[in-house]
Amino acid sequence: MKKQKISAIIFDIDGTIVLLPIDWNSILIKIKSLSPVSTKTFLGFISRYYGSNEFRYIHKYLEIVENSAIDAMTILDNADELLKKICKYIPIGFVTMQSRSAAEKIVYRMELYNCDKFLGVLASREDASNRVEQLAKAIRSIDINPNEVLFIGDKILDGIAAIVSKMNGIVILRNPRTFRISDTDYIDEDLEAVGIPIATNLAEALAIAKDIYDLPIDISIS
């Protein structure tokens, strides 16, 4: 059977290729201190209050925190070396729920900006209130059929967003506590049923992509 053609790979940033040392509990405390905000999570806040004065306040505050954290960020799974190899063969771009300034600084630090097929930061927190809208914006900007794009992220939501966006997806779940979320439901079973593979690191995700989509990419680290 002929394998699915992939013309570009889009990556999430924080949690997928790097890890920023941000105290998210303190961010949530600041969000919950705002009146009349009523939300339990960061992504829930962004989605519900996007474009509001409360959103702009938290966005600006967090932008400073994010940019300050970059000096202490952890590059996950040799992502800088892997992605510099990948973008010799296939266009790569990024979406993120971080600020654009932080995201662009991260890819600059990783020396990805001068890659042969670097598409840049395609969507950030300023551009859309949720991952589905970010992926839609990214697809419009690169003008590639969604079913020829692979999205790699680190959240279950990333897999769902890929499906909704009619894209291919792989989810990286590092050190999962458990795949069982109730007496009758397992995360890995649900994702497999809708065609979203699970990897435990970036190299494994790219190996899965290479196998499933027959991508001509070098994923070795010498």
Contacts of 43 (CB under 8 A, 6+ apart): 97, 130, 157
Average pLDDT over residues 180-193: 91
Using CA atoms in the order 108, 18, 44, 184, what is the torsion angle rounded to 10 degrees? Answer: 150
Give 8-19+75-213's CATH code, choosing from 3.50.50.60, 3.30.1370.100, 3.30.70.1170, 3.40.50.1000: 3.40.50.1000
Place of tokens 């909704």: 164
The yes-or-no verdict on residue 1 having pLDDT over 70 is no
Average pLDDT over residues 40-68: 96
Q: Give this prediction's pTM.
A: 0.95
Domain positions in the chain are 8-19+75-213, 24-72
The yes-or-no verdict on residue 40 having pLDDT over 90 is no
The amino acid occupying position 201 is: N
Q: Where are the beta strands (DSSP E) in the chain?
A: 8-12, 18-19, 74-75, 92-95, 118-123, 149-153, 168-172, 198-199
The yes-or-no verdict on residue 221 having pLDDT over 80 is no
Lowest mean pLDDT among 13-22, 88-97, 156-165, 209-218: 209-218
User: Which residue, among 162, 154, 175, 188, has the nearest Cα to 79 in the 3D structure?
Assistant: 154
Confidence of residue 16 (pLDDT cuts 50, 70, 90): very high
Using CA atoms in the order 105, 109, 114, 119, what is the torsion angle rounded to 10 degrees? Answer: -50
> Which tens digits make up the pLDDT trace of 101-122?
999 999 999 999 988 899 999 9
The yes-or-no verdict on residue 173 having pLDDT over 90 is yes
Cα atoms found within 13 Å of the Cα of residue 17, Cβ hemisphere only: 25
The mean predicted confidence, pLDDT, of the chain is: 94
The rounded distance, in Å, linking the Cα atoms of 212 and 154 is 19
